[in-house]
Amino acid sequence: MHRLFVGLPVPEPVADVLVDLMEDVPDARWQSVEQLHLTLCFIGEVDRRLGNAVAEGLADVRGGALDLRLGPLGLFAHRGRVHTLFAGVGPKAGLALLSAKVTQAVRAAQAMPEARAFVPHVTIARFGGRGPAEAAMAPVLARAVPAVAWRADELVLYESFMGSGGSHYEAVARWPLH
């Protein structure tokens, strides 16, 4: 089985800005530079046949390159406890449209992607167990995120490998966004 997702890579200058934000948050498990990406569609566990069908469908996704910019920090929480700290990415409309096209291609290949509202972001930290209370994160969320922009010009199918040191990702296929 292969654990797959579709995303946009984060270029090195943007990753450098994100790394500079990774400090002074107790119990944060910071993402490595290699882990930084923007997920458009999480597919999950699929066999090789279905993975190949997904890749074939993604080759037909059309959409031009996107001019993106980092936004403010945000978080995902459950029952008042933070599990993910992220940097927002915009503009949301263009990313949401691309995410919808990718999701449609994944479904057309008969895969069942994760059904979650799309929030364009780059995860920078995760928290295990009982993460910090949402209210305790207010000073972190108030941090200024430098204005940095980039052009996303390729779509990537990633495979995720789980390990004791966290996940690592490998690009399985790439397609230009033109």
Say which amino acid occupies 150.
Answer: W
Burial (CB count within 10 angstroms: exposed 0-12, middle 13-18, buried 19+), residue 121: buried
Which of 2, 78, 83, 121 is catalytic? The answer is: 121
Cα–Cα distance between 172 and 178 in angstroms, integer?
20
Is 2-176 in CATH node 3.30.230.10?
Answer: no
Q: Give pLDDT, residue 100.
A: 97
Is 178 marked active-site? no
Domain boundary assignment for the chain: 2-176
| pLDDT tens digit sequence for 84-131 | 999 999 999 999 999 999 999 999 999 999 988 999 999 999 998 788
Q: What is the pTM of this model?
A: 0.94
Q: Which of 2, 37, 78, 83 is catalytic?
A: 37
In DSSP terms, which residues pair with 171 in a beta bridge?
158
pLDDT in tens, 139-173: 999 999 998 999 999 999 999 998 877 788 999 99
| Phi, psi angles (nearest 5°) of residue 91 | -80, 140
- Give the DSSP per-residue string, 96-109: HHHHHHHHHHHHHT
The C-alpha atoms of residue 72 and residue 14 are separated, in whole angstroms, by: 14
Q: Is 37 known to be catalytic?
A: yes
